[in-house]
Amino acid sequence: MAKVLILDYEKCTGCRLCELVCSVKHEGVSNPARSRVKIVKWESEGRYVPMSCQQCESAPCQAVCPVKALSRDETLNRVLVDYDACIGCRMCIAICPFGAMSFDVLAKRIIKCDLCDGVPLCADFCEVGAIQYVDAGQQSTIKQVTAADKLSEIMQKVAQAISAV
């Protein structure tokens, strides 16, 4: 069964360890700017949001590439970059609806999550479970449990409000 990377902003603490292990794995340096996963801080909400390639089934980045340097690897359910074919036009970066692709100015090439060839280190090192690599079938179960937990919290608040009256 195919696996997917789940990013849960509600669990993210903003430790940025995922960015560090990603940059070390792929570039050999501890530099978050060269990571394939990004942690975006939403100041107004005091929230951290992990962002990475969603490996879209119908990937806009793949469709827009003028030299077909992006292709789908069905075995790992991911979109890969052929760096020999890539001309660095950055159209894929511009069209990505998740802002998940970026340009490494030092290597002078686009970078995106490649799922670490099936063993994403960001998920392995995320101690709070904000990043998980699970079977695609588990994804809907995780979403259902999360929704049930939120509903339970709301119902508890409603019950407390009623009992306070």
Distance CA 101, CA 42 (A): 19
Tokens representing 78 are 């991911």
Q: Is the pTM of this model over 0.85?
A: no
Helix (H) or strand (E) holding 141: helix 136-164
**What is the domain partition of the chain in residue ranges?**
3-134
Give the model's confidence band at 69: pLDDT under 50 very low, under 70 low, under 90 confident, else very high: very high
Tokens representing 114 are 């490649």
Among 42, 8, 22, 10, CA closest to 102: 22
CATH architecture label of 3-134: 2-Layer Sandwich (3.30)
Tens-place pLDDT, residues 25-51: 999 999 999 999 999 998 888 899 999
